[in-house]
Structure 1
Amino acid sequence: MAKVNSEALGKEPIGKLLIKQSLPASIGILVMSLNILVDTIFVGNWIGPNAIAAINVVLPVSFFIAALGMAIGIGGSSIISRALGSNNYKKALKTFGNQITLTLVLCILLVVLGLWFIKELIPAFGGKGEIYAPAEIYYRIVLYGVPILALSMMGNSVIRAEGQPKYAMIAMILPSILNLVADYFFIYVFDWGMAGAAWATTGSYFVSFSYVLWFFLSKNSELKLNKAHFRLDFPILKEIASLGFVTLARQAVVSVTYLLLNNILFNIGGEASVTVYAIVGRMLMFALFPVLGVTQGFLPIAGYNYGANQPERVRESINKAIFYAGTLALGVFAIIMIFPESIVAIFTTDETILAETPSAMRWVFAALPIISLQLIGSAYFQAIGKATPAFLLTLTRQGFFFIPLILILPEYYGELGVWISFPLADFLSTIVTGIFLNREIKKNLIPLKNEEVAV
């Protein structure tokens, strides 16, 4: 098999590659983020502010199951990128087949458990009072489509590992567009309420999966599987698990933070405070799209060149990825700081939410310009197959700093303590990641002559 798609990762200039890989990923994430934002706007204006809070309660559970597919995708894609870089196509194919089998088995099991314990999970994640009823409606319907979403997210990572970012972008854009169209008809025209919002979301998952399936069955993919590739292979599963666990652990911690924040905020300010966090959370997803796009584009480049034993290209990709992501984050930061009131007004007309959310948003985004170092640094270790440092650095922000902060600071500062926990966690985790990344570069990557070591 010739290296039709992936060979450019080891030959083209790093700057050009990063733009080529990151731009489609950024556009895809942007469209998905806009989809979440507009979906929230539709729900807030056509159903009510409690509906926004209800969706925010459901997201941690559905996202965790879907993140299992992403974890398997990113973990396996790291193996595939390095395997393609070292001409080991047999391992690349076997890894992909194992990814599919593993995703299906685990996600279906988790969906069954999620539906079984529905009455315990929704209140645990903050679905109390008037939030519970709409949350239960949304939860049941969305969960049916989560295994399909997990397969789509897994496949999307593999598409990028093959060096085909445009197809990965389309796989993200198509369901987002369909979801918005379906939202209009199901919520506004047919007046299906929360059920309409849920069916629009679930239907979009199936569209994404259909496109990903078409890609791998077409001539565009290098990875052509047979039945033998789906048979589970323990050494490959172990490697997928060790690397994918990094992504899964990150999402697990995110789910825990949702649980804690929804409950802490509900106890402080009731449904209104949960809604404020829901709006800020949607903006957080949206605002990070350029940084996440550069991170997604960086992963296959670093992994391929590491597998191809080209350390100088790996080092250059780190430097440029941090610079590009940081520059983009600074621009988004400026917009958030200047126009928070205008942004919040798009979501709701509720006076309480309009009064409380802008200040919270400014605090949450205060450290946005420096977060690129933390994301690129932890992604680097995952890309090159070093699971332990990747795992620890991934947990640094949410697990080691953010969760302790939100458990301590609200006791002294109330709701303000929740919001200032965000920039404090960002700042501390960035320092730790910078130290680890700099040490790794000095130790294992050949420094470019007459230049200082990165970071």
Structure 2
Amino acid sequence: MAQQRIRSMTEGSPVKLLISFALPLMVGNVFQQLYTVVDTAVVGQMVGVGALASLGAADWLNWMTLGIIQGFTQGFAILMAQYFGAKDYRQLSRSVGASVTLSAIAALLLLAVSQLAILPVLGLLNTPADILGGSVLYLRIMFGGIPIVAAYNLLASILRALGDSKTPLYAVVLATFVNIALDLLFVMGFHWGIGGAAGATVFAQAVSTLYCYGNVRKITIIRLEKTDFKLQRDMVAALLRLGSPVALQNAIISVGGMVVQSVVNRFGMLFIAGFTATNKLYGILEIAATSYGYAVTSYVGQNLGAKLLGRIRQGMRAAALVALITSMVIAAAMLLFGKSILGLFISGTPEEIEASMAIAYHYLALMSLGLPILYMLHIYRSALMGLGDTVIPMSSGFVEMAVRIGIALFLPLAIGQEGIYYAEVGAWTGAALLLVAGYYVRMHGLSRNLPAR
């Protein structure tokens, strides 16, 4: 029962709470990445290296729409976590109702804008003509599922805000099996190619949405009234103050990524395919980081609602240490086994495979070495969001964009295509420095206004 899974994080060992909250999310992310990997592997092996490059050319534009949706819903969940920590269930219900209405409006607007933007944006990104058709088809289908994605992310955010990380796990596991089965049917069975892979993903997301919806309805402390769905000024202002900067932050980061993609596209199909193969592993590299991040946001938000600054500091020390150790373990695994995993995505002639693999593994090795920086970025960004500060995380998005674009545009001029590999780690570093400093400044300010507990 979902009601039994909601959990207060204002009592008990911070380490145990954070890890027990994050573990189901990690497992869920493993499954989510599994169907991303299967999508890519099936397309790369069954359709070919050109189709793999088409996926890569579409990646950042697709990520931008997803990031905007996740930004709004993640921001909305901060307010929910704070009301839950304060045990103000009427305000919690109001925040849920208003979030539903705002998410629906955002999803419909994004659906219309994204469909209109596909061709112009792919043109600006210097997408090669031989892969343009596949990229357009993939994005048409994926963007058609934006309302479904928005519904899932809002429902999962509500559950996580209330300390339930298991229901989103079960939803993702279910969706993974559906997606893999449909990938095999649509791509390998019906030979629908890249469109079949996109259709399988959208259908699987619908399944996970329905599962989360059924569980949210069982939470008895959320008692929605008709007036909760109306856009009342005070609640809308509070939600948008938290959600808009996070959505903008993700959009800004995506712009930087698209500039990098436009540079990558100049180096031809094989370079795009190798770069794409590694980018499809990015989610695996980041699995634990995003999971710890969600745990930290809920933990900090609930404890701020309960005015327990001492517990926040204690939890942050634990989260940073656990995240650092985890990042080093994942980096070692990628350095040891990365080539074997990348081989799942790359097909073609022996020469094509060799060229793409060399590009992919070199990029993977550099990103793996920079993983501890990425993990600290997630921990401190999530902590600031839990504290109700989404402006500094948004500013970190500007830093990421500026560094990523600067490296991508200028370093290749000095050292050739080798320079493009450093854009990602450089962007992480710039953002992480701002976020760590911002967290300590914010905590110092709060400590002057709240009693030490």
TM-score clears 0.5:
yes
Give the alignment of 1:46-85 within 5 angstroms.
46-85=46-85
Partner of residue 362, structure 1: 365
Cα deviation, 1:169-223, whole Å, max 9, x if unaligned, reads 1222222221111101110011111221121011112112111211122x24532
Q: Which amino acid aligns with 1:257?
A: G
Partner of residue 350, structure 2: none
Partner of residue 228, structure 1: 227
1:65/1:107 contact within 8 Å kept: no
Separation in 1, partners of 2:253, 2:88: 35
Partner of residue 414, structure 2: 412
Separation in 1, partners of 2:402, 2:59: 22
**1:12 and 1:145, CA in 2 relative to 1: closer, same or farther beyond 3 A?**
same
2:246/2:390 contact within 8 Å kept: no
**1:235 and 1:400, CA in 2 relative to 1: closer, same or farther beyond 3 A?**
farther
Separation in 2, partners of 1:33, 1:319: 28
Cα deviation, 1:28-81, whole Å, max 9, x if unaligned, reads 111111211121111100111121221223333333333333222211111011
Q: Which amino acid aligns with 2:254?
A: S
1:24/1:166 contact within 8 Å kept: yes
Matched, 1:377 2:380: yes
Give the alignment of 1:29-428 within 5 angstroms.
29-217=29-217, 219-220=218-219, 222-267=221-266, 269-349=267-347, 350-396=353-399, 398-428=400-430
2:242/2:388 contact within 8 Å kept: yes
1:341/1:358 contact within 8 Å kept: yes
Separation in 1, partners of 2:26, 2:245: 22
1:67/1:150 contact within 8 Å kept: no
**1:221 and 1:142, CA in 2 relative to 1: closer, same or farther beyond 3 A?**
farther
Q: Which amino acid aligns with 1:229?
A: D
- Aligned-residue CA RMSD in angstroms? 2.0
Separation in 2, partners of 1:221, 1:215: 11
Q: Normalising by structure 2, report the TM-score.
A: 0.92
Please report how far the alpha carbon of residue 416 of structure 1 lies from its aligned counterpart in structure 2 after TM superposition: 0.9
**1:370 and 1:65, CA in 2 relative to 1: closer, same or farther beyond 3 A?**
closer
Separation in 1, partners of 2:410, 2:72: 34
Q: Which amino acid aligns with 2:80?
A: I
Please report how far the alpha carbon of residue 442 of structure 1 lies from its aligned counterpart in structure 2 after TM superposition: 4.2
1:73/1:153 contact within 8 Å kept: yes
**1:22 and 1:7, CA in 2 relative to 1: closer, same or farther beyond 3 A?**
closer
User: How many residues are aligned here?
Assistant: 441
Q: Normalising by structure 1, report the TM-score.
A: 0.91
Please report how far the alpha carbon of residue 7 of structure 1 lies from its aligned counterpart in structure 2 after TM superposition: 5.4
Separation in 1, partners of 2:11, 2:183: 44
Separation in 2, partners of 1:233, 1:393: 30
Matched, 1:10 2:10: yes
Identity %: 21
Separation in 2, partners of 1:111, 1:8: 36
Separation in 2, partners of 1:194, 1:283: 19
1:85/1:305 contact within 8 Å kept: yes
1:83/1:92 contact within 8 Å kept: yes
Please report how far the alpha carbon of residue 148 of structure 1 lies from its aligned counterpart in structure 2 after TM superposition: 0.7
SS of alignment partner, residue 37 of structure 2: helix
Separation in 1, partners of 2:257, 2:402: 16
Q: Which amino acid aligns with 2:377?
A: Q
Q: Which amino acid aligns with 2:29?
A: I
SS of alignment partner, residue 10 of structure 1: coil
Partner of residue 453, structure 1: none
1:69/1:153 contact within 8 Å kept: yes
